[in-house]
Amino acid sequence: MKKIFLINAFLILTACGADNNNQTTSTESLPEVQDTASDAMHSLVPLPGMEDAVPEITQITTVLMRTEAGDISIDIYPEAAPNAAARFIELVEAGFYNNTPVFRVVPGFVAQFGINWRGDYPAWQENNFDDDPTLFALERGTLAFAKAGPNTNSTQVFINYTENNRLAAPQFNFTVFGKVVSGMEVVDAFVAVGDPNMGLDQGQLWDDGGTYLESLDEKPVMIESATVLASP
């Protein structure tokens, strides 16, 4: 049975997994990965009070995400959140995010994606990975995995539209692993569809997303492809 886990953080931030009835290529100009070095350039900011706990960022992997609204360049920081960064890169390299919808857009909060109903991809939704420590601020443009509780991260990711540091509280523990470094205006142009807070029906997307999307009068923005440009 497909499930939809919910977690309430002022607004509900959904991950994968409760009952369907409980719905709530041109890359030449883009930056490549930084060489391992103590002065790798990044734009992450420590959470207040965590300035002495954050790791040194020496590696950056860049992902190009092409969407119907335009291209987005995302820097991934393995040292900021090793488990999350590794899973995101793994999913990108597996083609998981290709031809998938940005199914939840809450202006002033988050844009969320990461459901693929095709082939063997649905098996990923139960392939959870452990949380990383939450050390960096959830500022505008940062990425974190959506989840339903401790260690339930799998495929769904959200991009913050604004500073959402309340989501770093221990009872939520959403962890930044990357940041949009080019194309945030594209993210701002994502269309809000479905329920104003919940977005599209996740159960229907997992079951038969193609048919479900075709039935909609208003379509979400689709991610056409996601590609790792370079890795450490």
Is residue 184 assigned to a domain?
yes
The domain in which residue 188 lies consists of 6-19+40-230
Give the pLDDT band (50/70/90) at residue 42.
Answer: confident
Give the pLDDT band (50/70/90) at residue 65.
Answer: very high
Q: What are phi and psi of 8, to 5 degrees?
A: -100, 115
Q: Is the dihedral of CA 163, 180, 84, 59 positive or negative?
A: negative
Cα 66 to Cα 61, 138, 223: the distances in Å are: 16, 23, 6
pLDDT at 21 over 80: no
Q: 2-6, 34-38, 205-209: lowest mean pLDDT where?
A: 34-38
Is residue 29 assigned to a domain?
no
Is residue 31 assigned to a domain?
no
Cα 34 to Cα 41, 57, 126, 182: the distances in Å are: 8, 10, 33, 16
Is residue 27 assigned to a domain?
no
First to last CA, the chain: 39
Is residue 101 assigned to a domain?
yes
Token representation of residue 226: 């996601």
Q: Which of 167, 219, 212, 213 is nearest to 190 (CA)?
A: 219
pLDDT in tens, 197-229: 999 999 999 999 999 999 999 999 999 999 999
Taking the CB of residue 47, how many other CB atoms lie within 10 A of it? 18
Rg of the chain on CA atoms, in Å:
17
28: three-class secondary structure by DSSP? coil
Is residue 34 assigned to a domain?
no
Query: How many domains does the chain contain in total?
Result: 1
pLDDT at 36 over 50: no
93-103 average pLDDT score: 98
Rounded Cα distance between 114 and 9, Å, is: 20
Strands 110-113 and 157-160, how do they pair? antiparallel
Is residue 35 assigned to a domain?
no
170-190 average pLDDT score: 97
Rounded Cα distance between 98 and 226, Å, is: 6
pLDDT of residue 43: 85
pTM: 0.85
Is residue 24 assigned to a domain?
no
pLDDT of residue 232: 52
Rounded Cα distance between 153 and 130, Å, is: 7
* CATH code of the domain covering residue 158: 2.40.100.10
pLDDT of residue 40: 56
